[in-house]
Structure 1
Amino acid sequence: MLIGDLLLAHGLVTAADIELASHRQKENGGRLGDNLVALGVLSQDQLDKIIYEAPQAPKTIADTGIQSANLLRIMFKAIYVNSLETASEFSAAIKLPVPVINRLIQEAGDRKFLEALGTTDQSTFSENRYVMTEAGRRFALESLQQNQYVGPAPVSLENYQDRIVQQKITNERVEQSKIEKSFEKLVIAEDFVRRLGPGINAGKSILLYGPPGNGKTTVAEKVADIFANIIYIPYCFEVDGQIIKVFDPAIHTPVLKESEELPKSGLRREEFDGRWVPCERPIVITGGELTLEMLDLSFNAHAKYYEAPLHVKASNGTFIIDDFGRQLVSPEELLNRWIVPLESRIDFLKLHTGKSFQLPFDELVIFSTNLSPDDLMDPAFLRRIPYKLETVGPNKSQYFDIFKIVAASRGLEMTEEILDIVIDELQVKNSFELACYQPKFIIDQVLSACKYQGMDPHFTHELVTDALKNLYTSNAQGAGKTAAKSLSNSSASLAAAQ
């Protein structure tokens, strides 16, 4: 992890700035960051803030927070599985700086686990090559029998706890203008956005409820995307010698992309701890598939290490429970599982050995449901959700605006004549409530019909009424009828112009 990469990820410098500073560094010496400050590219305060926030590389084995015996096992598993030979290869595999690796190599040599083979033949630099002795191979195999985790060294539980607190979501102030900009392409009531803003900045739980198809999921996803701070996620952490994996490429988005075009000389890669991955704030979205087991440590009995639960992977980010009340687990069980974390902001987890430990519970939890909140949870739990916002169906004017936005994005012109056809069919003839998802559904149907008939996309009375017939079934009678649930959950809610 390089200081230049971090500055790039934060948007404080450009690749050209780094190249210019690198040339200055070659002429005048000093560190890259200091040369960037001297060039006026960024301020000393900005540089200090980035360096302070990033985990610093350990200088000694004690600095890692992990016992040397456990680090030695991690290193030997990597050597055995990946056929590694040099200190730099060991360092890249387990993400510890070379000085710490050299101390582990010395310890391995004292225990007759490694033998030196001489130096590598490299044009730029040379380093010693090592091979495992028979005792070293036995140690590696014993380590793999203990657990089959092979990868970056873990961080300590204490370091992980401190890091979650240091980068908590409430540290990031989301300004009103940023929230309004995020929702500017949606047709949504001003008072809804005004009430939503304090909930986002509080970092407390939010309940979105209301009829289906009116944008609850869209709002939740927009909220999650608002946060911009870079945080640090460990590959894994250790509790009583047990490995618990946290970093998940399906959830965590790294902000650093190695570029061969950037100058690398003299940038002091070992300044920062490679066991942590700089990432965007995570977003976890779960729906009907959520079970209680997914909120507990998952122990792989074969590999003998743990996978962190979903909400731990969402730490310092956003956890969205979509379609709340339709999970495999009952609402009561789920709420009982989280009633303490939501109140105390601390969660307790247990290893299969019986050892319990705690982690800070720092994430914005958003419950989204089209069921009645009073039917889902009792007053005691409702009290623990401080922000409750209802998404309601649009009025006729808002509905027309949604239709025009979506139609324009698909190359169609929406007229009041077509709107009258839709309103007559939905509300007069069939007593349907207007919903935000309906315009996109109707437009998609019209476009498909035009494609089938070989016509240029356009609205007609016939095409619109045919589309509306696919919005509901013939036995949907009476007031308050709603379209099929699968349609009402359309991601086009609130008329985001696609």
Structure 2
Amino acid sequence: MTAAVAEPPAAPAESSHEEPAAFFPHRPATLEAAGLPIAEVETLVLKILLNRGPTSGRDVARQIRLPGGLIADFLRELKRENVVTYRRDAGPNDYFHELTDVGAVRAARAHDRCRYDGCAPVTLGQYVESVAAQTLRSQTITPAALRDALRGLQVSPETFSQLGTALGSVGAMFLYGDPGNGKTTIAERLTRAYGEELWIPRALQIGGETVRLFDAAVHEELAAVDERPACDERWVRIRRPTVVVGGELTLEHLELIMNPVSGVMEAPVQLKANGGTLVIDDFGRQQMNPDSLLNRWIVPLERGYDFLNTPGGKKVKVPFDLLTVFATNLRPTDLVDEAFLRRIPFKIRAGDPSPAEFKAIFEALAPQMGLTIEPGAVEALATDHFVSVDRPMRFCHPRDLLLQVQRRASFEGLPPIATTEALTIAVKNYFSDL
């Protein structure tokens, strides 16, 4: 049985030491070391000056996140070529730069091709090397690490073992069972067992396209570590990601997508999840049928790499280094055929709590919510409103019913006590079959 609320029983202390990431992006000394063609740097600089007007060399370097010295040399070369000119001083050894007529024509052409004017991209080759150096497959999953990841949740020994085995294999799993038993909550926690740190590029160069990879909506940037050497600022240190997609998922989300508002190419969800976990929540209820999704991912799930189609018609090989979790209320055998089930080697059921677990969850949650429980109230609740009416207990029920008690007590000025009467009123409010 699996759950989403009570603290697991204490276990013998184990080391959960995490090895530091094997990869570190050192600051490049030259544009060649950064892997950037001169033409790529030029188009970014020109678009910045086109969109922002006169800009200091320091601000240009800050925008594209390359060392100021490299950009200062590059801007001087552009001035010699009559592409930019100096508007006025911008401090020691710096100027406000603006486009000449020649530069404005070049900038407009570059902008028409691609509106992106942010951080300079990292090459696909550099990204592939970084994924290999930080791969989930090099992480050691220990019981202590998984226990820490699931802290605050209650998981049976059998399910705990299944989850640990699945994490160690870094493949795909079905996490299935009835609604309210914590499937999504568990899935969202699993990444924590792999360790914390991951470096990813802010943007990638894929098949001639600049693709934005870092997404503040799904990636959590970590604070800088002062004692480390100077890093390449085109990279960002993040917490290993957990990307959750639901019913809105379509096949288009699995390809490079042009954002119609920003005019910038966005990475697909599986690329954003590299180094972490991709949760397909409520699997089977997407706008596309399950077979379409699994057909799309036969090669990635088996081989650890994917192919993306660029707008220019190129097919580009990219890493697929992530744990894929299909969370669903439906039985896996009702969703896909045997051939697909074989490619998803772990099927883990999130079952209902036992009466003892049900009571333990109430007792663990009530103090956290500022409530006390009247002796015998939970037993009466279980007998009268679950067992006698053949209603299944779910792991979400204690939290939801106690919230009802808490809110009613606050509104009516009642003592914060979960009495038999208060829980009965909560049941009548909560269940639609009374």
Residue number in structure 1 paired with 2:287: 328
Distance 2:419 2:374 in 1: 11
Residue number in structure 1 paired with 2:219: 252
Pair 1:134-2:101 in alignment = yes
Distance 2:260 2:311 in 1: 10
**Given that residues 381 and 420 in structure 2 are in contact (C-alpha distance below 8 angstroms), is that contact kept between their aligned partners in structure 1?**
no
Match of 2:138 among 160, 171, 174: 171
Pair 1:290-2:249 in alignment = yes
Scaled by the length of structure 1, the TM-score of the pair is: 0.78
Aligned length: 416
Q: Which amino acid aligns with 2:432?
A: T
Residue number in structure 2 paired with 1:63: 33
Residue number in structure 2 paired with 1:466: 425
**Larger RCO of the pair (alpha carbons < 8 Å, separation 6+):** 2
Any gaps of 5 or more consecutive residues in structure 2?
1-18
Distance 1:254 1:228 in 2: 15
Residue number in structure 2 paired with 1:75: 45
Q: Which amino acid aligns with 1:226?
A: A
More deviation, 295-304/318-327: 295-304
- Alignment deviations for residues 210-254 of structure 1 (CA, whole Å, 9 cap, x no partner): 122112112112212333332222121123432111111111111
Distance 1:390 1:117 in 2: 67
**Given that residues 299 and 306 in structure 1 are in contact (C-alpha distance below 8 angstroms), is that contact kept between their aligned partners in structure 2?**
yes
Structure 1 residue 438, shift from structure 2 partner: 0.9
More deviation, 147-156/61-70: 61-70
Match of 2:345 among 386, 399, 414: 386
Whichever of the two has the greater Rg, that structure is 1
Residue number in structure 1 paired with 2:365: 406
Distance 2:79 2:298 in 1: 52
1:157-306 mapped onto 2 (5 Å cutoff) = 157-256=124-223, 271-300=230-259, 305-306=264-265
Any gaps of 5 or more consecutive residues in structure 1?
1-45, 476-498
Distance 1:84 1:95 in 2: 18
Pair 1:146-2:113 in alignment = yes
What SS is found at the alignment partner of 1:196? helix
What SS is found at the alignment partner of 2:400? helix
- Alignment deviations for residues 455-485 of structure 1 (CA, whole Å, 9 cap, x no partner): 111133322222112332237xxxxxxxxxx
- Alignment deviations for residues 144-166 of structure 1 (CA, whole Å, 9 cap, x no partner): 12211111111112112222222
**Given that residues 70 and 241 in structure 1 are in contact (C-alpha distance below 8 angstroms), is that contact kept between their aligned partners in structure 2?**
no
What SS is found at the alignment partner of 1:474? coil
Residue number in structure 2 paired with 1:115: 85
What SS is found at the alignment partner of 2:218? coil
Structure 1 residue 117, shift from structure 2 partner: 5.6
Q: Which amino acid aligns with 1:67?
A: P
Pair 1:97-2:67 in alignment = yes
- Alignment deviations for residues 334-373 of structure 1 (CA, whole Å, 9 cap, x no partner): 1111121101111111112211101010111111111111
Structure 1 residue 83, shift from structure 2 partner: 3.2
Q: Which amino acid aligns with 2:142?
A: E
**Given that residues 202 and 234 in structure 2 are in contact (C-alpha distance below 8 angstroms), is that contact kept between their aligned partners in structure 1?**
yes
Distance 2:355 2:375 in 1: 11
**Given that residues 78 and 84 in structure 1 are in contact (C-alpha distance below 8 angstroms), is that contact kept between their aligned partners in structure 2?**
no
Residue number in structure 2 paired with 1:156: 123
What SS is found at the alignment partner of 2:373? coil
What SS is found at the alignment partner of 1:470? helix
Match of 1:397 among 356, 361, 365: 356
Change in 2 beyond 3 A, CA 1:304/1:408 = closer
Distance 1:301 1:289 in 2: 18
**Given that residues 372 and 416 in structure 2 are in contact (C-alpha distance below 8 angstroms), is that contact kept between their aligned partners in structure 1?**
no
The structure where helix makes up a greater share of residues is 1
Q: Which amino acid aligns with 1:410?
A: M
Distance 1:446 1:287 in 2: 31
Structure 1 residue 414, shift from structure 2 partner: 3.0
Match of 1:315 among 274, 293, 310: 274
Change in 2 beyond 3 A, CA 1:467/1:129 = closer
Structure 1 residue 319, shift from structure 2 partner: 0.6
Q: Report runs of 4+ in structure 1 exceeding 6 Å deviation.
A: none
Distance 1:448 1:399 in 2: 21
Match of 1:87 among 49, 57, 60: 57
**Given that residues 308 and 316 in structure 2 are in contact (C-alpha distance below 8 angstroms), is that contact kept between their aligned partners in structure 1?**
yes
Change in 2 beyond 3 A, CA 1:118/1:433 = closer
Change in 2 beyond 3 A, CA 1:156/1:299 = same
Residue number in structure 2 paired with 1:359: 318
**Given that residues 242 and 305 in structure 1 are in contact (C-alpha distance below 8 angstroms), is that contact kept between their aligned partners in structure 2?**
no
Structure 1 residue 183, shift from structure 2 partner: 3.0
TM-align CA RMSD: 2.4
Scaled by the length of structure 2, the TM-score of the pair is: 0.89
What SS is found at the alignment partner of 2:162? helix
Structure 1 residue 172, shift from structure 2 partner: 2.3
Distance 1:458 1:310 in 2: 45
Structure 1 residue 257, shift from structure 2 partner: 5.7
Q: Which amino acid aligns with 2:65?
A: K
**Given that residues 297 and 307 in structure 1 are in contact (C-alpha distance below 8 angstroms), is that contact kept between their aligned partners in structure 2?**
yes
